[in-house]
C-alpha cells in the first residue's frame, strides 16, 4: 500500500437517470461529511452552449468530468462525491446514438469508485429545459443503468425515498467503508 493511500479520499459514484436527485444527494453528503462533491459537467455544458451535446462531444464531456474529479480529490476529506461518472456518459451515448466511442468505453473501464450509489427515479419528474427529456426516458435510462452495472459486475446500492431517507441510507452505507 503506498504511504499516501490513506490520505486519498474514497471516491463515491452517484449515478442515476435525469431528475432522480443525484445532485441534491451529492451536495447533502458533501455537507454532512465536510468535504467536496463534483457537480455534473453536462449541466454546465448544456447551459453554456444552449444545446444538448452531439455524439462526438460525449468523450470531451466525460474527460472534463474526470478532470474536475481529479482537481477536487486533493482537497477532499475522507470522501469525494462524484455526481455522475463517465459510465453515465457512455450509457447516454448508447441510448441516443446506439454506440459508444472506443475512447469513452476505455475511460469507463479505467475509472474506479469505492462505492456506487444509484438514485431510484421514484420522485416526481421535473422538466429542466433541454437537459431532461421525459419521465419515460428517465425510467428507461434507470433500467439500462442497472443492467449495465450488472453486466460490468459493478456492485451498487439503490437509494430510494425522499431526501432525508436517501441521505440516511447513504450515510449508513458509507460508514461501512474502511
What pLDDT, in 10s, does the model give residues 3-38?
344 469 999 999 999 889 999 999 999 999 999 999
pLDDT at 2 over 70: no
pLDDT at 1 over 80: no
Give the mean pLDDT of the chain.
91
Residue ranges of domains in the chain, CATH in brackets: 5-174 (3.40.50.300)
137: exposed, middle or buried (Cβ count in 10 Å: 0-12, 13-18, 19+): middle
pLDDT at 78 over 90: yes
Residue range 154-163, pLDDT digits in tens: 999 999 999 9
| Type and span of the H or E element at 116 | strand 115-119
Q: How much is the average pLDDT of 103-132? A: 86
Q: How much is the average pLDDT of 114-121? A: 97
Tell me if 163 sits within 8 A of 25, measured CB to CB.
Answer: yes
pTM for the model stands at 0.91
% of residues, the chain, pLDDT over 70: 92
pLDDT at 148 over 70: yes
Amino acid at each position: 500500500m503506498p504511504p499516501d493511500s490513506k490520505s486519498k479520499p474514497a471516491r463515491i459514484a452517484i449515478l442515476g437517470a435525469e431528475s432522480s436527485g443525484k445532485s441534491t444527494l451529492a451536495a447533502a453528503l458533501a455537507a454532512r461529511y465536510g468535504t467536496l462533491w463534483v457537480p455534473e459537467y453536462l449541466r454546465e455544458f448544456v447551459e453554456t452552449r444552449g444545446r444538448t451535446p452531439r455524439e462526438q462531444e460525449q468523450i470531451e464531456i466525460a474527460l472534463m468530468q474526470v478532470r474536475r474529479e481529479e482537481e477536487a480529490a486533493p482537497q477532499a476529506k475522507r470522501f469525494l462525491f462524484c455526481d455522475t461518472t463517465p459510465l453515465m456518459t457512455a450509457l447516454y451515448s448508447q441510448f441516443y446514438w446506439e454506440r459508444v466511442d472506443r475512447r469513452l468505453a476505455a475511460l469507463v473501464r479505467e475509472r474506479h469508485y469505492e462505492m456506487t450509489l444509484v438514485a431510484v427515479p421514484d420522485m416526481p419528474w421535473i422538466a429542466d429545459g433541454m437537459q431532461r427529456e421525459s419521465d419515460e426516458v428517465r425510467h428507461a435510462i434507470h433500467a439500462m443503468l442497472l443492467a449495465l452495472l450488472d453486466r460490468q459486475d459493478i456492485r451498487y446500492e439503490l437509494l430510494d425515498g425522499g431526501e432525508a431517507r436517501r441521505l440516511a441510507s447513504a450515510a449508513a452505507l458509507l460508514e461501512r467503508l474502511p
